Every structure is written in C-alpha cells, then in structure tokens.
Amino acid sequence: MMIYFKNALTRKNLMALTGLFLSFFLIIHLLGNLQLLLPEKEAQLQYNLYSHFLSGNIVIKLVSYVLYACILLHTLDAIYLGIKSKKANGPKLSRDRRSRASTWQSRNMMFLGIIIFLFLVIHFKDFWYHYKFGELPHDENGNKDLYTLVVNAFDSIWYVILYSVSFLALGFHLLHGVASAHRSLGVYHPFYSKLIRILGYLFSILITLGYLIIPIIIYIKH
Amino acid sequence: MKIYLKIWRQKDNHSKGCFKDYTVDDVNKDMSFLEMLDTLNLKLVKQGERPVEFDHDCREGICGQCGVMINGIAHGPLKNTTTCQLHMRSFKDGDTIYVEPFKAAAFPIVRDLKINRSALDRIITSGGFVAVDTGQAPEANSIPITYQEAESAFDSAACIGCGACVASCKNSSAALFTGAKITHLELLPQGQKETHVRVTEMVEQMEKEGFGHCSNTEACQVECPENISVLNIARMNYEYNKSKLLVKK
Amino acid sequence: MNTPFLDTKIPEGPLEKKWSNYKRNAKLVSPNNRKKLEIIVVGTGLSGASAAASLAEMGYQVKSFCFQDTPRRAHSVAAQGGVNAAKNYKNDGDSVYRMFYDTLKGGDFRSREANTYRLAECSASLIDQAIAQGVPFAREYGGYLRNRSFGGVQVSRTFYARGQTGQQLLLGAYQSLMRQVKAEKVKLYARHEMLDLVLIDNKAKGIIARNLDTGEIERHGAHAVVLATGGFGKIYYLSTLAMGCNASAIWRAHKKGAFMANPSWTQIHPTSLPQSGPYQSKLTLMSESLRNDGRIWVPKDKNETRKPNDIPEEERDYYLERKYPSFGNLAPRDIASRAAKEQIDAGKGVGALKNAVYLDFSRALKEYGKDIIKERYGNLFDMYRKITGINAYDEPMKISPAAHFSMGGLWVDYELMTSINGLFAIGEANFSDHGANRLGANSLLQACVDGYFILPYTLANYLAGEIKVPKTNIQDKEFDIAEENCKKQLESFLTTKGEKTAEEFHKELGKELYDKCGLSRSKQGLEQAIENIQKLRKEFKTNLMVPGDAAEVNSELEKAGRVADYMEVAELMCIDALQREESCGAHFRQEYQTEDGEAKRDDEHFSYSAAWEWTANPSEPKLNKEPLIFEFVKPTIRSYK
C-alpha cells in the first residue's frame, strides 16, 4: 500500500484525474460566469440567483468538497513530484539546452501552477470568502449581490491585468496538462492520442478566451 | 578546423568536478565526435596528462555505450543520433563545445564523462524478460505474429539502452526506457502472459533506483537515437493501471 | 593418427547421428548436484550470455564477466543482416544437409564435418528459442516468419529483424541472463576484464580479473571456465569491431596451454565504409544484406573524375556480376572482398582516397520504389547519411573491405573444450565451425548454438567428473602466482614511461598486418611482417607510455594490456599464414592461385587445422596438426561462377 503512494506513476494518475476534474469544473464555472455578460440588470439578478442556487444545493456542496480536495491533492502531488524530480536530477548541468526538445509549457507546469495557485488564493479571498462569510447587500430578489461585488472589482485595471495574466497561465497549463493527463492515464493509441491533443488544444484555447473576455468586457463596459 | 572544448573533469563520484579548457587544432569535418576526443586524448597523453575518460565501444550507434551531453544536449545537436555517429561537420571552425556527462542521480559518475548505468540493467532484471528456459520453445511458426505486430514490437525493442532519455528528461525519468521494454514484450503473444507481473515489478524497480516521474514533455523521443515513441510510456501507464485495477492477484 | 593432445572426440556413427549419439552417451549431473558446481563465463555476447543463462537455468552457479558497462553492449549487438537456419519455410530445397554443405563449402573445406553438421542441425531450434524470448523477427503479412537470401547460398534461409538482428538476439539472451541474475543463479561482474587464467593440477579453475572501475585485482574460482570473448579482428586496428574487442582472454589462456588454431584466418568484410583519414578509429560495417539489392561497380576508366550518377551504364564495370554470373553480387565475402581489392589495387577505386567501390541501388529503387527499399534498409541508409553526410537514395554508396571476423581462435574439440581440461571456448572465440571463411549470417548462429544447445550438454559431461571436487580455493598458490604476474605486467606498462601510446603502436601493428597478412599474403611479405612485428614488440617494451596508475579507472592501461597481447598474436598470425602454403577461403597466398586469380587449395598437404602451442617464445610456437577427415563429403573446388 505504501508503495502505491510512493510510486511516481500512481501519483501521476492522481495528478491526471484531479487535473481532469478541475478542467471539467472550468467548463461549468465558465458557463456560470458568462452570465456576467448579459445586459446589466438581467445579469445582476440572474447571476445572484445562480450563486444562491449553488451555495444552497446539497449536491453542489458535495461536489464542491471534491473540488477542494482536487485542488489540494493536485497541489500536494505537484510538490511531492517536484521534490522527487529534484532528487532524481542529481547534480545540475552547467550548460543546459535540453529545452530544445520540448515545449515551454511542458517544462514549466510547476511555475504556471504556482501562478494559478496564487491567483486562486486571491480569487477565493475576494469573492468566495466574501460571499460565504462576509456581509453583502441583497438584490431586489433578496439574493446576496455578488454581481455588484464582481463588477466593481474589475473597475481596477490592475485587477483586470492580474486576472488576464492568471488566465494566460491557466491556458498554457491546460495546453500541456489536458493531453498529458490522458497519457498518464494510459491512452497509448496513436490516433486517439493525436485526437486528444488536438481537442486539448482547442479546449485550452476556448476556455482561456472565455475566461479572458469576461474581466476585459466588464472593464470596458464600465 | 579549430575547436575549443570545455570538458567536465571529475576524478570519481565523491570528488567535485569542473570544466577544463582544451583546444584541438587539427579537426577534420569528417571526423566523428569521439575521434575528435581521441585526437585530444593523444595530445594529452603526450603531454603527460591524464586523458579524458569517456564511454564508447562499437562506434556504430548500436551498443549504446557512448553518450555525453554536448552543448547541453544528450548526444549533441543532431536529433536521434548517438554521440559516436555525430560528426564534426555539425560544428563550425572556432566553435566552443561544452562536454559533460549524462547527469542523473541514478547514473553516478565513474570518472570524467564515464557514468554507471547499471540502474537500467536492474530495471530489466526486475522483469524485462520472457520467462522461458532454453529448450522449452515450441516451433517458431506455431505462434503467428502479424507483420504489423512484429513491426511495432520492433519499434519498441530497438532501444539501445544508452540512457539519453534519462539525461534529456527534466525529471531524470527512465519511463521511456522502461515503457519501451514493457511495450515490446506486451505486443508479442509470448510476452503478454507475464505483462502484469512484469509491469509492476519494473515500475517499482524504476522507483527504487531513484529515477524521476514522467511529465510527458516528450524530450526523450527527440534525443533518443532510435526515435522510440513516447506512446510507449502511455502504454506502460495503461498496463500498470490495468494490472493494478483489473488483474486478480 | 591424432596426437593425444588433439583428440577431437568426434562421436561414432553416421554424420546425422553423431550429435544424438553424443547426447545419448554423455554423462549427466543430477539437479541437486548442479548447485554445488560453479562456472565462470567470460564474455556476455550471444554465446556468453546464452551459455550463462542456459547453465543457470539448469541449476549451476554461474559467474558472468564482461568489460562493457552492461552485458547488453557486447559486440554481437552490431551484427546486422540475420541468422541462418535450415527451416525450409520457403520450400526452396533447404535442408540440414544442404546448410551443412553450404557452410563447409563456404569455409573452403577447412572445417570439421561433424561440428559443421551439428551447427546446421541445431539451427532450427535456435529460431524457436529466439521467438519464444520475444525476438521480433521479420514476418509475412499472414503472421509467419520471413526469410531472405544471403551471400554464398542459393536458398533463402536467413531470418532477420530489420538491420538489427544481432541486437535483438543479444537482447533476448541478455534478458534471459538478467532473469537468472534475479533468480540469483548468475552473479554478474560488469566492467571486469579477465587478466589471466588460473590452472590447478592442469585444470582450469579460475581467473584473475581487474575491476575496471576501481583497478582492483580480483580472484575468482570455479569448477570450469568458459571463454566467450569473441573475435580479435580489432588487431588490424581499423576493423568493423568495437573498440574494446580484444584477444587478451584467449591469448592468456593460450599462454597457459590452450592451443590457438588457424589464427591467421580473418574474414575481411566487403561492405564496410572506407577510411576517410588517418584519425579514423574504426570502420563501420554496412550489412551484407545490402548486396541483395545493391549492385557493385567501379568505373572502367581509372582516371574517371565524373560523379557516379554521371557515368553512363556502359562505362561501368559490374565486376562481380561479370566474374561470378551465378552468384553475382551475392558472392561469398572473401571473394567479394578480394575482387574489390583487385579493382582498388588496379587504381579503379573511387572516393577521395581511391579506396572504395560503388554499391548502387538505382536499379532496385526503380524496380521496387523508395518505400520498399526504405523498409528493407532504412536504418542502413540513415546510418550511411549520418556518417558520410551523403544520401544514398540519390547517389551510390561507397564501400570498401574491412577486417571483420576471426575464423581462427582457440582450438576446441567436439565438446568445445580447449586443450586445457575444464576450459571451454564458445562463439567466435573458438575456431570450430567456419573453416577458412564464414558465410554471412552464420556467426550469430554459431554463437547461439554453442551457448544454448551445445555447451549445456558438453559441459555437463565434463562436470560430471567434478562433482566431488570442493569449491576452488582462491588462496591457492596458483592464484598467488597469477595475481602477482598480472600486477607485475600492469606495473611494467606504467613504469616504461616511453613516448608512444598504446594506440599508436596498435595503429602501426594494424597497418603492417593489414598490408601483409590481410586480404592477400605472400611469403616475402609475411617474413617481412614477422621481422617488423618483432621489432615493434621490442619497441613496445621500452617505449610505451601509459599515464596514471593501476588503482583507478585507466583506459590507457586497459589498451596497453590488449596491445601487448596483439603484438604476440600478430606474429603467430603471420607464422600461421606463412606455413600454410596454399590458398583457401579468406587465406589467399599470392603464390598459390589459379590462372584467373582464384584461391588454389592444396588438399593433399594442407587439409588440416593448425593448432599452435605456446612455447614461451612468441616467435617459436609449436605446430600441432589436426587432420581434417572428410568421410561424408568430398572436397571440391569452390566455385561461385
């Protein structure tokens, strides 16, 4: 049993599964967030209702625990594997041009991951924490007015830039991560492997664009 | 051609190493990289110095013994080529070339550019074989294997065990080496029988030897002299998961 | 007729019954006794690895040695073309007898009938064994094994795995060996070089080995010693062999009393890449299989300066097709090499140094298309491009002959035991099956058959008498003496402090040997070579330069030891070539040729194997003759016209 946890291959499986779940979550989250782009009045009510629905539903609540677990496991795994890699590398190369053989993002998943993680900390603190534990005014339907909190936050250009950079980091992380996760889980057929890579690219680009336009449009609109 | 060299010199695994500068004047573009090192060594010995120790044997790209980092790339600038098959026409007059050993914790340095790759042997020892004793074999044609099966098994079997995949990997993972052997034997009916034992043992041995994990950067395939596909790694993952999840012990 | 030393131990009975008769009568060692018996196997190529694995599977305790950093790198790995077996899958009239006859004829009737027959007889089982190990041999679309033809035969009996047959067979054997390492039946000593053989009461009982990583001198004892150390073609310096291939193990065994047989018979391979300059360290072999589709030619005019593709058809001389119409480009190696040398010597060589001939694929490319050619020889074409920078799909390859395989080696009897009790030699290290010339794709076969199917029986026959003998005591005074001598020799290399490196000596020796004891030999040349070698050997003793010391990694010291042995082997080769006043197979004496320049054998006087005995003076070895008795086949003139 111990070896199961110590084993890099199973660790990578866990990494892949949690990563894929998080990727799936990104779709749902994006669909929800796109409501922010509806005409203002409609957006406010709709978005607040949606948030209320999410926070009240027991199933969603369970899913959200899975989500937190995934983020945690994905991060812990990354740290574990990072340390392992460092150990395995032994003495450093004095001149290193190995990078010519691989893509930039595939070599910098850790770095990208750190950006995403830091972003998550800020993101959670500013919205999730506020919504859950902070005092928020209510909209006319009596739901907590998360919409206004969000829209006001993106008044600041710095905040928009912070988000944009984080989304780009996320995009590159996905560009490698989605296809790589399938490999780690064992998709070895050349055709499907290629297909997944192409779909993975498409997915990453669409998700990134989707997330990117939201703060930018809100900023421009206001 | 005149070539400037910065070569890693290290007495043994316990001492500290460093780069030393050398110049080789009479380099011919048709020389192989190793012949260029021979030329340098001849010069060094004549000067009463210790020649540079490096691994090499067949010098035709098949034994897998040679292998150094040349300008920070395993086996040098040509893709899918061993160090011995690299020729000086890949360099320009006046170039400075950095030469270092393959570096990985699982490959201790023996001296200078010579390393100990017995960790790879131990991975094979753990399960990289078909358990057949001499004399037990049935008639060869009694196990038909289609042309495609044989060809893809060969693609995986072509590994020469040089360790460039490990050296090229940012995590020093031996996944390509191990995956190739697992896939080779899995693709043939003779080897299939033992796949689940083989894959578990080999993956665990890889772990014990202190190799890193695979993060699918695919650098290994680019530098692999035999261009072994990274899909062999996916196959290993698949077989491993299958044996852990589906196979009854 | 045989001297007692040269008892060949060929079993009674008709040719096809000899091996089964032997097996029927051979003594056995019972399974519970096997684990008490230790065997040392030096070398982990096809013969060494297969023998060590097979013996360990049977239950013996095996110690396996190799100088490479892992057993998988032994030079069997470099064999490209294939392995022969009389399976007759092609229904083209092949049989054990025909394979035996082809091999015997290919060797110019200078090998033992019984041994050669056994080689053919066991060939089919080898393919079965390799398949079971997972060797990915080429297949037909329906799933059955595919064959191709090779030099010197008129049937398709060669099994192959792309251009890497040796590598794949070796990996099979290596994996079996490693399986026994896991089972703790084999103890592996990689990066160890054998320095001496230890005899106790005239039986081989152990070796002295040097750990190449630490410089430590070690003693290893056993009940029997097996040498599977390959060939010594590297003696020519420029050869197709790996840099580390050497004669040291067999030569040091020779100095302890094992006879060397026919040492001068070296196969010069016709399709290697030509030398490009004085810095060259080795010549790369291009598989003979290329001659299946490639056509060899030189320009008719020796002052030709045009590029090969610009030379019109009628100004090319396809000399092999012209001289040997029935075998054409697939003439046996010795003949193809000599024919190439003839053209090169006549000034028709091509390339900058005028030392090569063209190997042209344009017709095959036209006939089959690039894809088929790529599938058949893709890796060879890639290799050619990597080495020369030339794309052989567009322009003919340039090839030239290079030293390749030692038909000679330690003299062994039918049981593969040398003239020392308990010392066996298998694979290329012995002299047995190929006569004066080896057919293509027979070397992998011999190595495997010796290791998998012969030695396990014959060694048991010997060990049956050793069951009661306790483990060898490595504190015995014989070990003391041997170790002392090894240390002294290493010390002497280091303290000579001369001006020439071992490699420089090696190059000089190689050139001398290639010129005078290579493709063609003459009395005058050989005598001169002997004189020169003696001089060079003397100089080696006083003018050698080896840096560093013995208690560390020191590849210069390793080389010095090997070259020191070559210096003596080379002289024996010349002496051997000189006494054989005939031409046969790879041994071509200029004085003994037919009117049209073919080898002229003298069966009346030279139908024997020359087994040389060490006399402490390398210049005066003692000749023992093992007569070759042809009971079943009548030697004929070997013609491939």
Scanning B201-240 for CB atoms below 8 A from A yields 203-204, 207, 210-220, 222-223, 229-240
Question: Does domain C269-402 sit in CATH 3.20.20.70?
Answer: no
> Which DSSP helix (H) or strand (E) runs through C77?
none
Contacts of C75 in chain B (CB under 8 A): 57-58, 63
Scanning B149-208 for CB atoms below 8 A from A yields 167-168, 170-173, 183, 203-204, 207
Contacts of C388 in chain B (CB under 8 A): 30
Best of B41, B57, B116 to substitute, by most chain C Cβ atoms within 10 angstroms, is: B57
Mean pLDDT of the C228-238 span = 97
Pair (B234, B124) in one structural domain: yes
> Mean pLDDT across chain B, nearest whole number?
96
The strand order across the sheet containing C186-189 reads C186-189, C61-65, C38-42, C224-227, C423-425
Nearest to B210 by CA among B244, B174, B167, B156: B174
Angle C439-C228-C14 (CA atoms, 0-180°, nearest 5)? 55
Give the CATH number, domain containing residue B217.
1.10.1060.10
Nearest to C136 among B32, B85, B188 (CB): B188
Tens-level pLDDT at each residue, chain A (222 residues): 454 567 899 999 999 999 999 999 999 999 999 999 999 889 999 999 999 998 888 999 999 999 999 999 999 999 999 999 999 999 999 999 999 999 999 999 999 999 999 999 999 999 999 888 888 899 988 899 999 999 999 999 999 999 999 999 999 999 999 999 999 999 999 999 999 999 999 999 999 999 999 999 999 987
The size of the B-C interface in CB pairs under 8 A is 219
Pair (B122, B234) in one structural domain: yes
pLDDT surpassing 90 at residue B223 = yes
Q: Where are the beta strands (DSSP E) in C514-553?
A: none
Best of A20, A83, A85, A173 to substitute, by most chain B Cβ atoms within 10 angstroms, is: A85
Residue that terminates a domain, selected from B52, B81, B111: B111
Cβ neighbours around C182 below 10 Å, total: 18
Q: What is the pLDDT of residues C56-90, one digit of tens each?
A: 999 999 999 999 999 999 999 999 889 999 999 99
Helix, strand, coil shares of chain C as percentages rounded to 5? 45, 15, 40
CA distance C181 to C200: 28
| Residue C548 DSSP label | S
What's the domain range around A9?
2-86+108-221
pTM: 0.95
CB contact under 8 A, C75 and B132: no
CB contact under 8 A, B144 and C284: no
CB contact under 8 A, C70 and B125: no
* Bridge-based pairing state of the strands C397-406 and C266-272: antiparallel
* Tokens encoding C305: 């300066």
Asked whether B58 and B84 are in contact (CB, 8 A), the reply is: yes
Angle A171-A176-A182 (CA atoms, 0-180°, nearest 5)? 125
pLDDT confidence of residue A179 = 97
Mean pLDDT of the C139-166 span = 91
Unique residue bearing structure tokens 């201790």? B108
CB contact under 8 A, A90 and B104: yes
Determine the length of chain B.
249
Q: Where are the beta strands (DSSP E) in C182-237?
A: 186-189, 192-200, 203-211, 217-221, 224-227
Chain A residues with CB within 8 Å of chain B CB: 3-4, 6-13, 81, 84-85, 87-98, 100-103, 106-107, 109, 176, 179-180, 182-190, 193
Nearest to B110 among C168, C242, C553 (CB): C553
Q: What is the pLDDT of residues B130-140, one digit of tens each?
A: 999 999 999 99
pLDDT surpassing 70 at residue C5 = no
Asked whether C42 and C207 are in contact (CB, 8 A), the reply is: yes
Q: Do chains C and B touch (3 or more CB pairs under 8 A)?
A: yes
Asked whether B115 and B55 are in contact (CB, 8 A), the reply is: yes
Q: Is C615 exposed, middle or buried (0-12, 13-18, 19+ CB in 10 A)?
A: exposed
Cβ neighbours around A186 below 10 Å, total: 20
The minimum CA-CA distance between A33 and chain B, rounded to whole Å, is 31
The size of the A-B interface in CB pairs under 8 A is 155
Mean pLDDT of the C327-335 span = 89
pLDDT-based confidence at C6, cuts 50/70/90? confident
Pair (B75, B125) in one structural domain: no
Question: Is B136 touching C (CB cutoff 8 A)?
Answer: yes
Nearest to C594 by CA among C638, C548, C538: C638
pLDDT surpassing 60 at residue B227 = yes
Is A145 within the bounds of a domain? yes
Pair (B129, B204) in one structural domain: yes
CA distance B83 to B68: 7
Pair (B67, B172) in one structural domain: no
Pair (B94, B122) in one structural domain: no
Handedness of CA C302, C303, C309, C314 (dihedral sign): negative
Best of A98, A103, A187 to substitute, by most chain B Cβ atoms within 10 angstroms, is: A98
CA distance A42 to C437: 93
Angle B46-B48-B52 (CA atoms, 0-180°, nearest 5)? 85
Best of B112, B124, B193, B202 to substitute, by most chain C Cβ atoms within 10 angstroms, is: B124
Scanning C541-560 for CB atoms below 8 A from B yields 545, 547-548, 552-553, 555-556
- Closest residue in chain A to residue B16, using alpha carbons only: A91
> Which DSSP helix (H) or strand (E) runs through C177?
helix C165-182
Q: What is the pLDDT of residues C411-466, one digit of tens each?
A: 999 999 999 999 999 999 999 899 999 999 999 999 999 999 999 999 999 999 99
Question: Is B13 touching C (CB cutoff 8 A)?
Answer: no
CA distance C471 to C473: 6
Mean pLDDT of the C377-404 span = 92
Task: Tell me which CATH code domain C477-607 carries.
Answer: 1.20.58.100
Contacts of B234 in chain A (CB under 8 A): 182-184, 186-188, 193
CB contact under 8 A, A107 and B217: yes
Which residues does A134 contact at the CB level (< 8 Å), separation at least 6? none
Residue that terminates a domain, selected from B94, B111, B128: B111
Angle B184-B185-B187 (CA atoms, 0-180°, nearest 5)? 70
pLDDT confidence of residue A168 = 97
pLDDT surpassing 60 at residue C207 = yes
Nearest to B39 among C129, C279, C552 (CB): C279
Q: What is the pLDDT of residues A70-79, one digit of tens each?
A: 999 999 999 9
Chains touching B (3+ CB pairs < 8 Å): A, C
- Closest residue in chain B to residue A107, using alpha carbons only: B217
pLDDT confidence of residue C2 = 41
Q: Is C571 exposed, middle or buried (0-12, 13-18, 19+ CB in 10 A)?
A: buried
> Which DSSP helix (H) or strand (E) runs through C367?
helix C362-368
Which residue is catalytic, options C34, C291, C333, C601? C333
pLDDT-based confidence at C640, cuts 50/70/90? confident
Mean pLDDT of the C173-202 span = 98
Q: Is B161 exposed, middle or buried (0-12, 13-18, 19+ CB in 10 A)?
A: buried
* Tokens encoding A86: 């460092």
pLDDT surpassing 60 at residue B181 = yes
Pair (B9, B51) in one structural domain: yes
Domain count, chain B: 2
Exposed e or buried b per residue across C246-268, where buried means at least 16 C-beta atoms within 10 angstroms of its C-beta: bbbbbbbbbbbbbbbbbbbbbbb
Contacts of C87 in chain B (CB under 8 A): 140
What's the domain range around B122?
118-245
Which residues does A23 contact at the CB level (< 8 Å), separation at least 6? A174, A177, A178, A181, A203, A207
Asked whether C439 and C113 are in contact (CB, 8 A), the reply is: no
Determine the length of chain A.
222
Chains touching A (3+ CB pairs < 8 Å): B
CA distance B191 to B196: 10
- Closest residue in chain C to residue B127, using alpha carbons only: C179
pLDDT-based confidence at C641, cuts 50/70/90? confident
Mean pLDDT of the C263-279 span = 94
Nearest to A95 among B71, B170, B238 (CB): B71
CA distance A20 to A41: 35
CA distance B226 to B67: 14
Cβ neighbours around C567 below 10 Å, total: 22
CA distance A164 to C319: 74
CA-only gyration radius of chain A, Å: 20
| Residue C143 DSSP label | S
Q: Is A210 exposed, middle or buried (0-12, 13-18, 19+ CB in 10 A)?
A: middle
Question: Is C508 touching B (CB cutoff 8 A)?
Answer: no
Amino acid at C299: P
CB contact under 8 A, B213 and A12: yes
Mean pLDDT of the C148-174 span = 92
CA distance C114 to C573: 26
Domain span(s) for CATH 3.90.700.10 in chain C: 269-402
- Is there a catalytic annotation at residue C333? yes
What is the secondary structure of chain A as a DSSP string?
-HHHHH-HHHHHHHHHHHHHHHHHHHHHHHHHHGGGGS-HHHHHHHHHHHHHHHHH-HHHHHHHHHHHHHHHHHHHHHHHHHHHHHHHH-SPPSS--GGGGS-HHHH-HHHHHHHHHHHHHHHIIIIIIHHHHS---B-TTSSB-HHHHHHHHTTSHHHHHHHHHHHHHHHHHHHHHHHHHHHHHT---HHHHHHHHHHHHHHHHHHHHHHHHHHHHHHHH-
* Tokens encoding C583: 């031409």
Give the CATH number, domain containing residue B50.
3.10.20.30
Scanning C365-404 for CB atoms below 8 A from B yields 383, 386-389
Mean pLDDT of the C280-285 span = 92
Mean pLDDT of the C218-238 span = 97
pLDDT confidence of residue A5 = 65
B122 HSE (CA, 13 A, CB side): 15
Residue that terminates a domain, selected from B58, B92, B111: B111
Scanning C255-314 for CB atoms below 8 A from B yields 276-277, 279-282, 284-285
Mean pLDDT of the C252-277 span = 96
Domain count, chain A: 1
* Tokens encoding A149: 């909190």
Best of B134, B184, B192 to substitute, by most chain C Cβ atoms within 10 angstroms, is: B134
The region of weakest confidence among A139-143, C314-318, C575-579 is: A139-143
Question: Is C128 touching B (CB cutoff 8 A)?
Answer: yes
Rounded to the nearest 10 degrees, how much is the dihedral formed by the CA atoms of B136, B140, B144, B145?
90
Determine the length of chain C.
641
Amino acid at C114: A
Domain span(s) for CATH 1.20.58.100 in chain C: 477-607
pLDDT confidence of residue C1 = 40
Pair (B177, B144) in one structural domain: yes
The minimum CA-CA distance between C487 and chain B, rounded to whole Å, is 21
* Tokens encoding C10: 């060929």
